Amino acid sequence: MAQITAALVKELREITGAGMMDCKKALVECDGDKDKAIDYLREKGIAKAAKKAGRIASEGVVAAAYCDKCNTAAIVEINSETDFVAKNENFLALVKKIAQHIVATKPADMDALNASEMDGKTVADVMTEAVASIGEKLSLRRFEVYSSEDGKLATYIHMGGKIGVIVELSGGDEALGKDVAMQIAAAKPQCIDRASVDHEALAHEREVLKKQALEEGKPEKIVEKMVDGRINKYYKEVCLVEQEFVKDGDKTIKDILGGVEVRRFARFEMGEGLEKKNEDFAAEVAAQIK
């Protein structure tokens, strides 16, 4: 059995929103397996939803760039240790410049980006020099770049770089592209439509919902119908085209798209999945558990 630490209890609590003691009990019941504990809490009706994307715990910024001439767009995330540096003008200028460099060079992956030349130096060397200049550890974490021959590309940056989105549509205008990108930033869809839902994730969700319904004491003969209804609700949450439009709840994204299709999209949330040490809070949780 994995060791059930205060930090693990805290992480489970932040993911599920369940109480601290419920989280500890779930981890004990599931031998310290966090993912199983999430399902356990959901099945018991203690956690309304399981957000497994991870905690937002590092600092930094997400930036976007677009080239109208070559119809290429990119988003990039660069992390810093402190929020103070994340707001530094030199840091923000560096992130913007790298985003523009990605659009211009279209690197295949992170290795290619780091090895590419910018102002007579490799991007890796530019980052190293920035660390020395700014005086804080910086990390070029990830990027996404789209080029399109006949589609409409759009980017959207929310909250000054906390969230960045890039999306490709089969057509439409600038306003539509911005609306769809804004929707992705706000509603956090996992896929475009039902056909693109991960089959394993769907099967897992169905199993959790079935156990949840049985735990509620519902008769087995109506459980399947209940699960089907809840799966339809799940689709409306995770499928972009089925979500309610954030600017008009009477419409879905499919409604505002008309005959335009969403080809692909990427959404970066700054620091997503990264952790920051918070030893004092962990100690506080440990003290309460004891």
Q: What span, in angstroms and rounded, lies between the C-alpha atoms of 76 and 93?
A: 13
Among 135, 162, 189, the domain-final residue is 162
pLDDT at 275: 62
Q: Are residues 83 and 157 located together in one domain of the fold?
A: yes
* Domain end (from 162, 178, 198): 162
pTM as predicted: 0.73
User: If you count them, how many residues does the chain have?
Assistant: 290
The Cα–Cα gap between 168 and 84 comes to: 33
Q: Categorize the per-residue pLDDT at 82 as very low, low, confident or very high, splitting at 50, 70 and 90.
A: confident
Separation in Å, CA 192 to CA 20, 188, 196, 237: 35, 11, 6, 11
The residue among 129 and 58 whose pLDDT is bigger is 129
Residue 44 lies in a domain: yes
CATH number of the domain enclosing 281:
1.10.8.10
pLDDT digits (tens, 9 = 90+) for 151-199: 999 999 999 999 999 999 999 999 999 999 999 999 999 999 999 998 8
75 and 29 belong to one structural domain:
no
